[in-house]
Amino acid sequence: MVRHIALFDEVPFKACLINGMVLGTDGRMMHKSYGNYVPAEEPIGKYGADATRWWAIAGGATGSDIPFRWEEVRHGWRFIRKLWNAARFTTLNLAGYDPRGPRPELRTVDKWLLSKLARTIQEATEALEECRFNMALEAVRSFTWNVFCDQYIEAVKHRLYGPEGEDKKAAQHTLYTALYGIIRLLAPVCPHVTEEIYQRIFRAWEGHKSIHISPWPEPPEGFPDEEAEKAGDLVMALIRSIRREKARRRMPLNARIGLVKVFAGSEERANIIRACEEDIRGTCKIDALEVSPEAGEGIEVEGYPGLTFVM
């Protein structure tokens, strides 16, 4: 596999794409004579080389004409900031963790995240091998932003901020594994920020002089896990719905809720929710969670007909 995608440094954009050309914001070929020419130094100087590379890869399929869009560059910049903040959060919460030790007993949400990571690695690897660079990047972007940052990190903060123990180690293991996988998947696209994260967090443990000579990620052992993924999807959907209802009521997300009653609509769903009760209560700041296998009234969880809750 080709590990790196060399696009451009300080050459005109129109020379950067093989079998395609860069279009100006007016839809015509980018050219100085048309007045729609943007030298590479402008977006690189304003948003950095990684964000500019992001636009070039996310902007379209290999070999197609790609219009230059400032918004796509800005999106890459926002993503890089999101990734950096997630890396900083991970660094602050890995104190006392030794990745060389035995794997701790994982909870359902940990297995859910690692299963999603495994599928992302498979999808991105296949896309890169077929030179579908934009599709590989979208798979990694979606997992990193929507699954890792917006859902998993929020769901394990209560464990990470709590006392030392197996549950905290499981969250640390999952954070470490997922972030290390993410930056290796992103290294061909965002070589600078991924190298910085690698040197700060992973080099001492992994031993490679650079992320760019580290092995390409493989799915974690035992994953994907369809059963864990299905259960985690259910639990995360319930957590999102409860947090969304708190926001609708203009309650702070860290505000305590005395009691939430969940009507699962089936014994299978009820068992999954009970098994993940601690993570649901910890994430949503719930004092007591009552789970019934029966159908009931309340707010329906999106994507799960018959699953409702009252708070």
pLDDT tens string 149-189: 999 999 999 999 999 999 999 999 999 999 999 999 999 99
- Closest by CA to 259, choosing from 297, 285, 233, is 285
Query: Is residue 24 pLDDT above 80, yes or no?
Result: no
Structure tokens at 232: 């985690």
- Closest by CA to 73, choosing from 37, 29, 42, is 42
End-to-end Cα distance, the chain: 52
CA distances from 159 to 84, 167, 234, 282, 283 (A): 21, 7, 20, 8, 9
Residues whose CB is less than 8 angstroms from the CB of residue 310 and which lie 6 or more positions away in sequence, other chains included: 260, 261, 263, 296, 297, 298, 299
pTM for the structure as a whole: 0.89
- 233: number of CA atoms within 13 Å, CB side? 11
Q: Which of 181 and 39 is assigned the larger pLDDT?
A: 181
Beta strands in the chain (DSSP E): 22-23, 66-67, 257-263, 286-292, 299-300, 308-310
Query: Is residue 136 pLDDT above 80, yes or no?
Result: yes
pLDDT category, 31, cuts 50, 70, 90? low
* DSSP-assigned letter for residue 250: T
**Polymer length of the chain:** 311
pLDDT at 59: 72
